[in-house]
């Protein structure tokens, strides 16, 4: 039985009004989700994948019938003139068909390259499984264990085999670096690019100083900055920038970097757990943006005295919540307490991986990750 992803019902609803684009990392389940939507809601629809010769010819020849209620175009952005082609098809036949377009990171990049489709579609981002999206049949504890061990991408998560997950991960890195990045950018030094990615895997949760990384790699800071942007565009990593608004003692520090695949993180369980919290937070913020249209930001906070809070959640520029992440220490963070009193956010939370009993202390809540994301889920997905 196919797993129904959390964003599927919202996509089905949006299809009644506009085209829907779905982007996200390679192998995150976009094609499977699109086929499931087609099967469950539009059984007479048609699916086309640009990568298949027969489907590509069918797309170019417009070989579908007026009775097909949904047309799914997978990897359509590989068509050299896909936006103008799709605009023409949609404008002529939007009363007969609904359109679902899926693709890898390149879809998002090419989508931003012009506005010829402006106002004609809604965009959704599909993430790997997180503590906010646990497949049916898994308890919270089971899901968290797998997310830590093998990551949240559907194939390794559902399989649960660490050896196979490592093989899958290596193959994914190779495809992204040697195919997607090569197709988008004239990066010649692929070997050093791969080394930089491995270095980032050991520095999760720490500030990434471009000049230091450039020195380690013997390349220019400009090159490092460019490569980091490429990794972000490919959905390999995402940056969390510092929050400095209305904080005279705050320091404009370099960003922190986290991985979309939690199992990409190398080293101890602490950084991997922090990465898990980061991916879950990012996923729910993206969901809220895609569904409600708010602008959400995930930041961190550090001042000149070294007081640091791992995550700051902003909604349309306004502070919503402060979050500190600990692997085992359930003593309330002094930095979190200080900034909760100073900034007065709606919520201040310390998420602890290994805590037996959540508790409240003044303005702070100290809680385990499973309870936290279950307790606050309705605020984002209700």
The per-residue pLDDT for 64 is 94
Q: Are residues 146 and 63 in the same domain?
A: no
Would residue 2 count as lying in a domain? no
Q: Strand, coil or helix: what is 307? A: coil
Same domain for 97 and 167, yes or no, is no
Same domain, 18 and 113: yes
Q: Write down which residue in 70, 97, 125 finishes a domain.
A: 125
Is 3 a domain residue? no
- Same domain for 86 and 20: yes
The CATH number for 12's domain is 3.40.50.300
Q: Does residue 144 sit in the same domain as residue 117?
A: no
Same domain, 148 and 263: yes
| The pLDDT of residue 106 | 65
* Helix H or strand E segment including 122: strand 121-125
Instruction: State the pLDDT at residue 3.
Output: 83
Statement: residue 209 has pLDDT above 60? yes
Average confidence (pLDDT) over 283-290: 95
Q: What is the pLDDT of residues 76-102, one digit of tens each?
A: 988 888 988 999 999 999 999 999 999
Q: Tell me what pLDDT residue 376 has.
A: 75
pTM of the model: 0.93
The DSSP string of 357-374 is S-EEETTEEEE-HHHHHH
pLDDT score of 248: 58
- What's the whole-number mean pLDDT along residues 155-161? 96
The residue with greater pLDDT, 79 or 258, is: 258
Q: Give a yes or no: residue 262 inside a domain.
A: yes
Residue 220 within any structural domain of the chain: yes
Of the chain, the percentage scoring pLDDT greater than 70 comes to 92
Mean pLDDT of 271-276: 96
Weakest-pLDDT range from 69-73, 114-118, 147-151, 355-359: 114-118
Measured between its terminal Cα atoms, the distance across the chain in Å is 25
User: What integer best gives the mean pLDDT of the chain?
Assistant: 90
Same domain, 119 and 144: no
**What band does 142 get if pLDDT is binned at 50, 70 and 90?**
very high
Confirm whether 131 is domain-assigned: no
- Judge whether residue 241 has pLDDT over 80: yes
Going by C-alpha positions, the residue among 313, 36, 27 that lies closest to residue 170 is 27
Phi, psi of 321 (to 5 degrees): -155, 145
- β-pairing verdict for 256-259 and 237-242: antiparallel
The DSSP symbol for 76 reads: G
Q: Average the pLDDT over 177-197 and give the result.
A: 78
| 134 in a structural domain | no
C-beta of residue 28 within 8 angstroms of C-beta of residue 132: no
User: Looking at 125, 158, 179, which one is the last position of a domain?
Assistant: 125
Q: What kind and span of H or E run contains 71?
A: strand 70-74
Question: pLDDT value at position 105?
Answer: 67
Domain count, the chain: 2
How confident is the model over 19-59, as pLDDT tens digits?
999 999 989 999 999 999 999 999 899 999 999 999 999 99
The number of residues in the chain equals 382
Residue 295 sits in the same domain as residue 364 = yes
Contact 100, 75 (CB under 8 A): no
Provide the domain limits for residue 310.
140-381
Q: Do 153 and 52 reside in the same domain of the chain?
A: no
With a CB cutoff of 8 Å and minimum separation 6, the contacts of 182 are 190
Label residue 252 by pLDDT band (50, 70, 90).
Answer: low
Question: How confident is the model at residue 112, as a pLDDT?
Answer: 63
pLDDT at 134: 94
Q: How many CB atoms lie within 10 A of CB 15?
A: 19
Whether residue 379 is predicted with pLDDT greater than 70 in this model: the reply is: no
pLDDT, position 375? 79
Whether residues 117 and 153 share a domain: the answer is no
pLDDT for the residue numbered 244: 82
Determine how many CB atoms are found less than 10 A away from the CB of residue 55. 18
**pLDDT value, residue 380:** 65
Quick one: pLDDT at residue 362? 85
Backbone angles phi, psi at 83, to 5 degrees: -70, -45
The pLDDT value given to residue 76: 92
Q: Which one of 100, 125, 150 terminates a domain?
A: 125
The answer for residues whose C-beta is within 8 angstroms of residue 122's C-beta and 6 or more apart is: 14, 17, 18, 19, 20, 21, 290
Considering the domain architecture, whether residues 186 and 334 belong to the same structural domain is answered as yes
Average pLDDT estimate for 100-110? 77
Residue 251 CB neighbour total at 10 angstroms: 13
Judge contact between 41 and 143, C-beta under 8 A: no
Interstrand relation of 296-302 and 256-259 (parallel, antiparallel or unpaired): unpaired
Q: What is the pLDDT of residues 315-371, one digit of tens each?
A: 999 999 999 999 999 999 999 999 999 999 999 999 999 998 999 998 899 999 999
Q: Is the same domain home to 78 and 145? A: no
Residue 133 domain flag: no
Kindly report the CA angle at 247 between 293 and 258, in degrees rounded to 5?
Answer: 55
pLDDT-derived band at 267 (thresholds 50, 70, 90) equals confident
Tell me, what's the pLDDT at 250? 52
pLDDT for 251 beyond 60: no
| Residue 1 resides in a domain | no
Residue 184 binned pLDDT confidence (cut-offs 50, 70, 90): low
Pairing of strands 364-367, 359-361: antiparallel
Ramachandran angles phi, psi of 88, nearest 5°: -65, -45
Structure-block tokens of residue 61: 């020849």
Pairing of strands 237-242, 296-302: parallel
């Amino acid at each position: 039985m196919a797993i129904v992803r959390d964003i599927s019902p919202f996509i089905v609803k949006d299809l009644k009004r506009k085209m829907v684009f779905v982007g996200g990392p390679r192998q995150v389940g976009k094609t499977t989700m699109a086929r499931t939507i087609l099967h469950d809601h539009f059984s007479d629809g048609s699916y086309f994948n640009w990568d298949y010769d027969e489907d590509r010819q069918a797309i170019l020849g417009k070989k579908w019938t007026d009775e097909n209620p949904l047309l799914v175009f997978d990897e359509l952005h590989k068509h050299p003139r896909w936006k103008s082609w799709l605009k023409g098809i949609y404008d002529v036949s939007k009363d007969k068909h609904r359109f679902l377009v899926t693709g890898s990171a390149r879809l998002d990049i090419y989508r931003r390259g012009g506005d010829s489709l402006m106002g004609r579609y809604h965009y959704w981002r599909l993430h790997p499984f997180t503590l906010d999206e646990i497949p049916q049949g898994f308890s919270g504890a089971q899901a968290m264990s797998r997310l830590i061990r093998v990551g949240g991408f559907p194939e390794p998560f559902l399989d649960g085999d660490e050896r196979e997950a490592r093989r899958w991960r290596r193959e994914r890195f190779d495809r992204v670096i040697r195919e997607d990045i090569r197709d988008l950018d004239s990066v010649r030094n692929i070997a050093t690019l791969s080394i930089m990615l491995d270095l980032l895997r050991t520095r999760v949760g720490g500030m990434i100083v471009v000049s230091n990384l450039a020195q380690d790699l013997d390349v220019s800071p400009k090159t490092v900055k460019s490569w980091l942007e490429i990794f972000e565009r490919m959905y390999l990593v995402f940056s969390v920038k510092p929050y400095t608004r209305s904080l005279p003692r705050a320091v404009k520090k370099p960003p922190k970097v986290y991985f979309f695949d939690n199992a990409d993180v190398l080293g101890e369980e602490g950084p991997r757990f922090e990465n898990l919290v980061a991916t879950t937070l990012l996923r729910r913020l993206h969901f809220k943006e895609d569904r409600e249209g708010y602008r959400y930001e995930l930041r961190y906070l550090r001042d000149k005295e070294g007081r640091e809070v791992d995550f700051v959640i902003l909604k349309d520029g306004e502070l919503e919540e402060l979050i500190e992440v600990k692997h085992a220490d359930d003593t309330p963070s002094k930095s979190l307490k200080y900034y909760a009193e100073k900034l007065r956010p709606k919520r201040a939370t310390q998420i602890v991986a290994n805590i037996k009993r959540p508790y409240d202390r003044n303005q702070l809540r100290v809680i385990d990750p499973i309870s936290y994301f279950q307790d606050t889920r309705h605020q984002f997905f209700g």
